[in-house]
Amino acid sequence: MDADEYEKRLEKIRKCLRLSKSAEANEAAAAMRQAQKLMQELGIDESELGLEATIDELVITKHPMGANRYLLTLVAVIKEIFGVDAIFETGNGVAFKRANIRYFGPKSRCMVAAYSHRVVDRAIGNAWKDHKDDFHELPGARLSFKLSFLASIRDKIELMTTTPAEQAAIKRKQQSMYKGLVDINAKPMPEIVDRAANMGEVAAKGFDLHRPMDAAPVVRRLK
């Protein structure tokens, strides 16, 4: 069920609930029965009727599927900032071992979360290109740089929270799409390279997550 259809059904439930307050007993009873039937079909209760439609947004990455510490951390940061959830999927149309990330959440936050993932990942990749020659492929330098950049972004942004009703709606959306979900554990991280971590923190100071989202040229390139 897409977001528009979901919203249409919610509105029908709201209408039935309004009719259930009718002074006419038979009309009120029929409307309540219809509302309860529709709520059961959607798996919701009255406390959730004010929610935005819950949707999913797919991000196709160039990162390998599996215990990718950077990608796991990036997704964790996006989830925490925007109050959404995410599932890793294998295969992105180019290579089976590459990862897709599918974000779940209220429509407005989910769309912004997926867009922000792309913006942040591109910004970190570009920043690392400017510094990688300083380390001559030193083990752990790239990861240290990227994780420090992410930590700095996380510290600068006010977090959004997810209500219990939104969490329940997200879980239902996921359960309708997947069976037998598998957890992925991160591999042990190489030792932190302090100089690379410091560079990542410095590089992140010039990054503002909100600024590229308001810039028309960035939006056009992503379409």
pLDDT tens digit string along 124-163? 999 999 988 888 888 889 999 999 999 988 877 777 777 7
Contact of 196 with 148, CB cutoff 8 Å:
yes
pLDDT at 218: 36
Alpha-carbon span 105 to 170, nearest angstrom: 6
pLDDT at 181: 60
pLDDT at 176: 78
Interior angle at CA 141, CA 138 and CA 144, nearest 5:
160
pLDDT at 118: 93
Within the chain, strands assigned E span 54-64, 85-90, 98-106
Which residues of the chain have a pLDDT value below 70? Answer: 1, 47, 67, 92-96, 179-190, 210-223
Residue 120 burial (10 A CB sphere; 0-12, 13-18, 19+): buried
